[in-house]
Structure 1
Amino acid sequence: MVHGFGLAAVTGMALLGFIMFFLIANYGVAAPIGFYQLPKKMHDFLSSFVWLYWWGHIGMATLHASKSPPFCAYSGRSNAILGWFTAPESTPEILREQALQG
């Protein structure tokens, strides 16, 4: 759902930017026409959501990285890239036992 809102905000900004491009008179030499202000204000409004979406993703990625085991812990395996997914010590049963122990 969050990705859908982010995609909608970015798509809306792109469409409004496309419209704004064609409303600029004389290829930006003259001042924009009055009607230009409506899509510009909507574009600016949506940009707030895009920035929230961007910084929210950075924050969640940082939080996820701080709570996950380090990737280098599995680098000794022959399949280092998929080691986290296939490591026997990461099965739900073993993780449950480790949580109960400690």
Structure 2
Amino acid sequence: MISRLSLSALLLLSLGAVARADDMPVIKVEMRDGVIVPAVIEVPANARFKLEISNTGQSPVEFESLELKREKALAAGSTSAIVFRTVDPGTYDVFDDFHPEAKAKIVAK
């Protein structure tokens, strides 16, 4: 049986974990029918962050980076996110697999 003190300690620990997750930087990216905005996506190097991707266009998009081994397909009008644990400092290519002309760069510094 869990004592009240143990239950309180577990509750405080779980709230601390939630607070740390909320402190994660959120970088917003818009994809729109062959355009990625911003074209240069600055992110923190060696730190956890969330990339929030919104498809404001009329057609599906796929955010993809071969170097970072990440991809996310989105229907028109939808928003989704990718959480990165860490990214080494550097520049990484990003593209829309459904619109080959749409290119951007992630710059981790």
TM-score range, shorter chain: 0.3 to 0.5
TM-score (norm 2): 0.33
Structure with bigger gyration radius? 1
Q: Which structure's residues are more often strand, by fraction?
A: 2
TM-score (norm 1): 0.35
Q: Which structure's residues are more often helix, by fraction?
A: 1
